[in-house]
Amino acid sequence: MKILHVQETLSPNYGGPARVLPGLAAAQEQLGLDVEILTTNADTPRGRYRPPGRVCLEGTSLPVTYCSARPDILRFSAGVARFLHANARKFDLIHVHGLYRFPPSYAARYARKAGIPYIIRPHGSLDPYLYARSSRSLALKRLYERLVDLPNLHGASAIHYTAEDERIAASYMNLRAPGFVVPNGLDWSRYAVLPARGAMRAKLGIGNCPVVLFLGRLHHKKGLDILVAAFDAIHQENPTARLVIAGPEPDGYGVEIRKLIARRGIGDAVLFVGALQGVDVEQAYVDADVFVLPSYTENFGMTIVEAMACGTPVVISDRVNIHAEVTRAGAGIVTGCNAEEVAIAIATLLADEEKRRVYGRSGRSFVQQHFTWPAIVQTLQAEYENILRRHRESVVNSAD
C-alpha cells in the first residue's frame, strides 16, 4: 500500500500537527507501508524554516518533499501542485491533513478530480467554536470553503477524526463523507525512561516551588487568559507558586498574555521559557507539579498525552475532545472554561502529593496502553483497507 500524506507545514511553530505527522508516518513505515510526505517549508505565520527539496525523514528512509510556498494566508505553492500532477496517481491513497490552506485543499481537489481515494483529517477546524470566530476575512473564508473545501469534504473517501467528541462537534456540517475515529499517538521509547526531576527547576532558579506548567503554542484558543486568572488566585494563597509558560508564539498572542499578567501584578511568578525541543520537553513535564490546558476548543491535545506519559497530573477543560479519556484514565481533573473551576482544580492537586502521584501513574499507564503508535497504526491501516475496498467496488459497479 502506497500512501501520500499532505500537510501545510512541518514547522515546529505549527504546533501538534507538525509533531504528530512525522511520528505517524515513521510508525507506518515500520509497519511495512510505503509512505511519503508532501509539505512546504513555510514557517508560521511567515517566512520559511528550511530550504526546499526532497530529503528523508530523520531516522527513516521515508521521503519528505518540501516545496516553497508564498507567505500569504493560503500558503500557495506551485511546487505542491507540480508534485501532485507528476506523482499523485502513483499512490493508492492520499491522506490530507488540514483545511483552509492551498497544500491540503489542492491535494484533496486533485485527488477528487482524478478519482484517487483520499482522506481528510480536519485537525479540529470544523469545531463550531473556531468556525464562529474564524478570521477577520470571514466572507473570503466562507467563499473559499464553499468553492473548495466543502466539495472536498463531501467527496472524501472518509473524514479522519482523532476523538469521538471531534466527530460529534462537526455533525452540524452534515458531511456526506463517512467518518472514523483514530487518535493521535506517540513514540513510547521517548518516555520509557524519564529524566530525573530538577534540571528545569535548577535552570530557572525555582527550587522546590509548586510549579504549574502550560506547554504549547501560545494561541487564544488554548485558554491562557483563563489560566492566568486562575494562577493569580493560586498565587494569592501561595506566593511561592510559579507558572511556567513554554511554547512558540507564532501569532504574537504572547504579548497580550504578558500585558494581562502585568495588569494582575504577578509577573515575578510567571516564567516564559519559549519553545522547547528534545529532552527539554520531557524535563518540563517531569519538573511540573501540574500541567494545565483550559482550552476553549481542542480537537485532541497532544501535550496532554505527553504530560500523562511523563506521569504529570493534568487539569484540562471539558472543551478538550479527549476529556472523557482523561477522566476514564484517572489522570487529572476536568473543569469548565472558567478561572474559578481551574483554580480550584489546581489548588486541589498542589495540596495533595499522593493524589498527584496516583493520577500520574494512572495517566502514564493509560497512554502506554491507548496512545502509542503500533496499535494506532494498525487500526488506521484497517481503515485504509476498508476505503480501498469500497473504492474498488465502486469502480466495478460504475463499470457495470
pLDDT of residue 147: 83
Instruction: Give residue 399's pLDDT.
Output: 66
Q: CA-CA distance, 317 to 335, in Å (whole number)?
A: 5
Is residue 311 within 8 Å of residue 244, measured between CB atoms? Answer: no
106: amino acid identity, one letter: Y
Task: Round the CA-based radius of gyration of the chain to a whole number and report it.
Answer: 21
As a whole number, the mean pLDDT across the chain is: 93
pLDDT at 388: 96
Residue 285: enclosing H or E segment and its boundaries? helix 279-287
Burial class (CB in 10 A: 0-12, 13-18, 19+), 398: exposed
Q: What is the mean pLDDT of residues 68-73?
A: 89
- Helices and strands, counts by H and E, the chain: 16, 14
Interatomic CA distance for residues 276 and 268, integer angstroms: 21
Residue 53 has pLDDT above 90, yes or no: yes
* pLDDT surpasses 60 at 383: yes
Distance of CA 32 to the CA centre of its chain: 25
Distance CA 380, CA 390 (A): 15
Render pLDDT for 117-169 as a digit per residue (tens, 0 to 9): 999 999 888 888 776 665 545 666 777 778 889 999 999 999 999 999 999 99
Higher pLDDT, residue 95 or 13 = 95
Confidence of residue 89 (pLDDT cuts 50, 70, 90): very high
Confidence tier at 325 by pLDDT (50, 70, 90): very high
Q: With pLDDT > 90 as the criterion, what percentage of the chain qualifies?
A: 84
Nearest to 241 by CA among 282, 199, 289, 198: 289
Average the pLDDT over 220-248 and give the result. 96
pLDDT at 14: 80
Kindly list the structural domains of the chain, giving each domain's residue range(s) and its CATH number in brackets, ordered by start.
2-185+372-399 (3.40.50.2000), 188-370 (3.40.50.2000)
What is 324-387 written as a DSSP string?
A: HHHHHHT-EEEE-SSHHHHHHHHHHHHT-HHHHHHHHHHHHHHHHHHSBHHHHHHHHHHHHHHH
Angle at 399 between CA 398 and CA 400, to 5 degrees: 90
Q: Is the pLDDT of residue 261 over 70?
A: yes
How large is the angle between the packed helices 224-237 and 339-350, nearest 10 degrees? 50
| Cell 512541518, located at residue | 10
Q: Per-residue pLDDT averaged across 74-90, rounded?
A: 96
- Percent of the chain at pLDDT > 70 equals 96
Helix (H, G, I), strand (E, B) or coil at 188: helix
Reading the block at residue 16, the C-alpha cell is 501538534
Evaluate if residue 270 carries a pLDDT over 70.
yes
Rounded Cα–Cα distance for residues 241 and 212 (Å): 8
Are residues 292 and 316 in contact, defined by beta-carbon separation less than 8 angstroms? yes
3-state secondary structure of 193: coil
pLDDT at 95: 98
pLDDT for 221 equals 92
- Distance CA(176)–CA(239), nearest Å, equals 54
**Cα–Cα distance for residue pair 256/236, rounded to 1 Å:** 22
pLDDT tens profile 173-183: 999 999 999 99
The overall pTM is greater than 0.85: yes
Residues in the chain: 400
Backbone angles phi, psi at 279, to 5 degrees: -65, -20
Please give the average per-residue pLDDT across 91-116, as a whole number.
96
Q: What is the pLDDT of residue 139?
A: 67
State pLDDT tens for residues 271-292. 999 999 999 999 999 999 999 9
Contact of 166 with 299, CB cutoff 8 Å: yes
pLDDT digits (tens, 9 = 90+) for 196-211: 999 999 999 999 999 9
The one-letter amino acid at 227: L
